[in-house]
């Protein structure tokens, strides 16, 4: 929490962490994509003028983060620091590769990753103080995505190893992205179609709630690898025993077991939040609707569900972010998605191939969480109150 004047305690922490990160290796130069390579300090990766400019910009960014009560300046500082960091990486990679062999690779090292984390935390802290409304947050997210797209289109980071991995697998990456989104959103949609009616019934009937919630809670306790493993023999039996199942794409490995496992994990948040949201609807509003002669279905549609919507959407947020992360495990059973690159990279000890799967997963989960938070806030405010 920052002070209204003087130093910001989080900003002071970020400054200490940032200065410490500058002393760590900034980039790694490897002979090829598999070997560990040599760590290079920040002042070894570029010319003196580029290094001095980047250091000055990052130091200024950390300095802006020190001031309490200046959230917009701290936000500007985080953007300045990120720009200087990425600019130095983009400038350093072709310079280092020009003096190396044909198969050489340049990757960000611990110092660069730590600085990236520090500036992202500084940005998050500034935004938490600013508390932008949902529409402003949506605009900031759109602006951040536009800047990211412009950065990739500029080719500034094209010589970094992870982008070389991307160019070598661009078609496979596009298929993996489509499959990952299909797993996450498809399981969310299916969980909604099953979980909303079940949640409404559970809220209406205590006997059903007493059975359904413990069963769904038990499913949540099963480790993800075990759940995916259970799906393999189960769906193999279905594919072999049920006529037409194989033609529908049901098999022991692939999309079907991954989708079913994610669906089972998704049901508890949807059902529990639907019950909680309906229980939290003010009794006075429900009784007023009953007094107006509304039928139970009309009260549910016009009064209870609108009042419960923020809680229900919070459950969907949990499901979506959870499933984006869990879909990585689908790569182990042939389900596709970004997990394919993660496990290929682990098998080949290729760090950049792991990052090719991990970084888009993190970005997708972050964007999904922000969008769902915006939707939750919009349902909690009247149009005039949302900023």
User: Residue 45: pLDDT band by 50, 70, 90 thresholds?
Assistant: confident
Q: What percent of the chain has pLDDT over 70?
A: 97
How is domain 170-380 classified at the CATH fold level? MetI-like fold (1.10.3720)
CA 208, CA 278: separation in Å to the nearest integer? Answer: 15
CA 284, CA 261: separation in Å to the nearest integer? Answer: 40
Token readout for 374 is 């915006």
User: Residue 143: pLDDT band by 50, 70, 90 thresholds?
Assistant: very high
Tell whether the model's pLDDT for residue 357 goes beyond 50: yes
Write the CA distances from 330 to 180, 217, 245, 260, integer angstroms.
Answer: 9, 22, 20, 11
How does the average pLDDT of the chain come out, rounded? 87
The string of pLDDT tens digits covering residues 241-273 is: 777 777 777 777 778 888 988 999 999 999 999
CA dihedral over 237, 241, 245, 247, signed as positive or negative: positive
Cβ(76)–Cβ(6) under 8 Å? Answer: no
The confidence score (pLDDT) of residue 5 equals 52
Tell whether the model's pLDDT for residue 119 goes beyond 90: yes
The string of pLDDT tens digits covering residues 151-210 is: 988 888 888 999 988 998 999 999 999 999 999 999 999 999 999 999 999 998 989 999
Query: Domain extents for the chain?
Result: 9-131, 170-380
pTM listed for this prediction: 0.86
Q: Rounded mean pLDDT of 327-352?
A: 87
Give residues with Cβ within 8 angstroms of 90, minimum separation 6. 156, 157, 159, 160
Token readout for 286 is 């429900």
């Amino acid at each position: 929490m920052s002070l209204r004047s003087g130093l910001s305690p989080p900003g002071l922490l970020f400054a200490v962490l940032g200065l410490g990160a500058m002393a760590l290796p900034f980039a790694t130069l490897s002979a090829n994509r598999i070997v560990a390579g040599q760590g290079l300090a920040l002042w070894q990766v570029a010319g003196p003028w580029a290094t001095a400019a980047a250091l000055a910009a990052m130091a200024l960014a950390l300095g802006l983060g020190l001031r309490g009560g200046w959230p917009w300046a701290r936000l500007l500082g985080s953007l300045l620091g990120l720009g200087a960091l990425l600019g130095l990486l983009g400038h350093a990679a072709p310079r280092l590769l020009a003096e190396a062999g044909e198969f050489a690779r340049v990757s960000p090292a611990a110092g660069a990753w730590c600085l990236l984390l520090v500036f992202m935390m500084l940005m998050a802290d500034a935004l938490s103080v600013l508390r932008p409304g949902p529409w402003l947050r949506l605009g900031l997210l759109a602006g951040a995505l536009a800047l990211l797209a412009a950065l990739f289109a500029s080719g500034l980071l094209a010589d970094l190893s992870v982008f070389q991995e991307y160019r070598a697998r661009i078609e496979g990456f596009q298929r993996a992205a489509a499959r990952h989104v299909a797993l996450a959103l498809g399981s969310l949609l299916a969980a909604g179609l099953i979980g909303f009616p079940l949640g409404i019934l559970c809220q209406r009937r205590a006997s059903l709630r007493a059975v359904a919630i413990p069963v769904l809670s038990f499913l949540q306790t099963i480790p993800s690898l075990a759940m995916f493993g259970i799906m393999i023999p189960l769906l193999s039996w279905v594919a072999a025993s049920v006529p037409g199942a194989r033609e529908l794409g049901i098999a022991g490995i692939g999309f079907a077991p991954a989708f079913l496992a994610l669906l089972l994990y998704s049901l508890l948040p949807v059902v529990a939040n639907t019950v909680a949201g309906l229980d939290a609807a003010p009794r006075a509003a429900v009784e007023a609707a009953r007094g107006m002669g509304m039928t139970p279905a009309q009260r549910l549609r016009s009064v209870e569900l609108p009042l419960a919507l923020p809680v229900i959407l919070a459950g969907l947020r949990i499901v979506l972010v959870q499933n984006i992360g869990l879909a990585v495990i689908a790569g182990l059973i042939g389900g596709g998605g970004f997990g394919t690159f993660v496990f290929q990279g682990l098998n080949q000890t290729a760090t950049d191939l792991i990052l090719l799967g991990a970084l888009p997963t993190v970005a997708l989960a972050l964007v999904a969480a922000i969008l769902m938070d915006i939707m939750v806030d919009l349902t909690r405010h009247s149009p005039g109150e949302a900023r």
